[in-house]
A and B are shown apart, each in its own frame.
Chain A
């Protein structure tokens, strides 16, 4: 596969599932970008996120597998207990390196690896969450020419994560949107790039 387009990433924690449903449910089945992200989860116990998210999405949703290559219009979620990293050929690498911000998977390792591998092809979405994970990775993405869409903290169940990202980002790499406007924005950007 020689996909050369944008890659959409997301990060969230507390309140993340509801935010993810609002962002991804409206995307059409022919949405052109591959999507991957991290929602903080407990390492032990049942992992329902792919199913809960998949039920309300037109896109196929699944746990990311080791060395699996991202496909356009598919949505992948980091499995519990592993950091998710992205290689230049859009394949995933997993890692059991130390927790970051008390979590594994964490958002920073995914964002940082994508920034280093893919540079300006990265579009990241930072949603509701109760700690500052993702901010450092978002800054790295911005430094390498990628775009960071941040949920307006006023519309987030937990404002700390989007607020932390906002504090390290500047225009034009930073786009702040209320939750319900993120999906339309992604659709128009995706259609633009596609056409």
Chain B
């Protein structure tokens, strides 16, 4: 076989591989919030984070606006502290906004929902490094069942 033909076939092979990689990168993986991108950081403290994990999505009205960057325990009060990374595109949440840990479906994975609050002259817009005060903890199914069992009589 001539060198030219081999070269063409090897080129074709590499091209197919690059195409396959592009499929994997663009169609299969979530490139949207995979990298660092252009994000800013907010903090929120909860009583109980339930099954929330790092890289869980943050949604506003069902639209993913960011991801949970890290979860650590506050050493003084032993409350979980969640670091939120939110896209720069959505950088005008007022400080009256609240964060809730929600579950997609009854047994699905947990995510953070932000409910934007009202804005007037005295309300500031949340900036990089700010803390969201108004939080609601995760619904833990076992606790609910426990309450239901003990309240029955």
- Do the two chains bind? no
